Amino acid sequence: MNSSAQRWFGVVVLFLVVAISYIDRINIAVLITQHDFLQHVGLAASDRSGQGLLATAFMAGYGLSAIVFTPFCAALFGVRRSLIYGLVLWGVITMVSPWFNSYMELLASRFVLGFAEGPLFSLGASYIKAHFDSRESGKPNAIFNMGTGVGLAVGYPLVGYAIASADWEASFHLLGLLNLLLGIPLVLAFVRMPARYAAIPKPESLPAALNTVGEMFRGAFHTRHILTMTVLTAAFLSYLWGSSNWLPTYLKEARGFSLREMGWMASMPQYAAVLGVLLGGLLLDIIPRRRIPLIFVFGSLGVAVAVLLAINSTDRYAAAYWLTAASLCWGLQSPAIPSTVQFNAKPEHVACAFGVTNGVGSLVAGFMPAIMGVVIGLGSGGGLAAGFGSLVGTQLIVLLCGLALLRNGEAATRAVPGAAH
């Protein structure tokens, strides 16, 4: 096992790449509050379903890519080259997005951007599996997944500042430059797989590549608890995408915060999520393996209770604080998902197994912004509160999956003494 600082530099770079990718994703969530942007793409301010569908299009492309494209990336290009090619695509697509002057063109561009970003988390999971064993995977998984919260926390005020200082087009240009001028040099400098991975021969023909990918898929679907983890991931990500895409609108319209206030208030839950991810990673390296599903059980309960308290609060600041608490509980669960998949999958199947889990989960979760848009549109004055209330259901599913994993883990421990760790 590589013990040099190089592997940690790679984890930090993956954290930064995830952060950049999440700023890309939530750019639209801020822009749909801007009249000039909506007018440019021909979208009505009252069309909540159409606004939510922009996020759903991204997640549809992301999910399909994570399932279908990830194995080809792992088999043909490897982690490092796949990340570089991905960053090039993200940067170019983001830079040219202001040229699209119709809703359908923008919708298509969000799908393509999602497809380009699809393999990211699976490639990161592969890197961590290659450099860290299961007993020390908690902290690198936590750092890697902290990019989600940091990207969202930085993204809301960054995009808001770009709009306030220049115009909505500037936000796309700024994010494109981040991908091209920051992400690519860092990956080139610090992300490298161990020598034993570099020595694995790559397929020399399309039939050979298809055969390799087929073997990856077969191995992935034989990974223990793959179905439960996929359902859990879908519900887990549904909360993230539902809340992050509608949070700016909720804070501005339902709670009366200004654009500048909204940017920072929307960042508070994301910073809390970062703290939660860090704490969750530390927990992973402390508690026995069979007890890890308890993180899902208590984390999901915390999210559900906090969301209910937020939407029923009469004070707008209290509502924001409760949503911050919900994000903290959500973040606690984040490192446990890749860690569980990494533990149960063989090294050569990690990318594909996590691609299936994350891809299917993302496809399902991608409908959450649109579903919330429908719920919000059907409601009157309390439509936004009803939309956020629907997120509680996602946490009930996480709770049930966590209990199932806990039961299976206890059964396995009784059947195989010493399996606890």
pLDDT at 108 over 50: yes
Quote the mean pLDDT of the chain: 82
At 58-104, the pLDDT tens digits run 888 888 888 888 777 776 788 888 899 999 999 999 999 889 888 89
Extended strands (E) in 231-371: none
**Residue 111, amino acid:** F
pLDDT at 205 over 80: no
Would you place residue 36 in the very low, low, confident or very high pLDDT band (cuts 50, 70, 90)?
Answer: confident
Per-residue CA distances from 22 to 139, 148, 410 (Å) = 20, 6, 36
User: Do residues 351 and 125 touch, judged by C-beta distance below 8 A?
Assistant: yes
Give the range with max mean pLDDT: 191-205, 267-281, 394-408: 394-408
Closest CA to 114 of 335, 334, 366: 366
At 341-353, the pLDDT tens digits run 888 887 777 777 8
More confident position, 404 or 69? 404
At 37-67, the pLDDT tens digits run 888 888 888 787 788 788 778 888 888 888 8
Mapped onto helix, strand or coil, the DSSP state of residue 410 is helix
Would you place residue 17 in the very low, low, confident or very high pLDDT band (cuts 50, 70, 90)?
Answer: very high
Q: What angle do CA 10, 12, 13 make, to 5 degrees?
A: 65
Please state the rounded mean pLDDT for residues 308-320: 87
Please state, in angstroms and rounded to a whole number, the distance separating the CA atoms of residues 217 and 142: 26
What are the residue ranges spanned by the domains of the chain? 6-191+208-412
Would you place residue 418 in the very low, low, confident or very high pLDDT band (cuts 50, 70, 90)?
Answer: very low
Find tokens 């599903």 and name the residue.
293
Biggest alpha carbon–alpha carbon distance for the chain: 64
Q: Which residues of 351-384 are buried (b: 16+ CB within 10 A; e: fewer)?
A: bbbbbbbbbbbbbbbbbbbbbbbebbbeeeeebb
Say whether domain 6-191+208-412 belongs to CATH 1.20.1250.20.
yes
The pair of three-digit structure tokens given for residue 225, joined into one six-digit string: 């608890």
Amino acid 14: pLDDT: 94
pLDDT at 121 over 80: yes
Amino acid 236: pLDDT: 95
pTM of the predicted protein model: 0.72
Would you place residue 338 in the very low, low, confident or very high pLDDT band (cuts 50, 70, 90)?
Answer: confident
Extended strands (E) in 102-199: none
Please state, in angstroms and rounded to a whole number, the distance separating the CA atoms of residues 375 and 65: 28
Q: What angle do CA 95, 99, 105 make, to 5 degrees?
A: 105
User: Do residues 279 and 187 touch, judged by C-beta distance below 8 A?
Assistant: no
User: Do residues 232 and 364 touch, judged by C-beta distance below 8 A?
Assistant: no
Amino acid 7: pLDDT: 87
Please state the rounded mean pLDDT for residues 134-148: 81
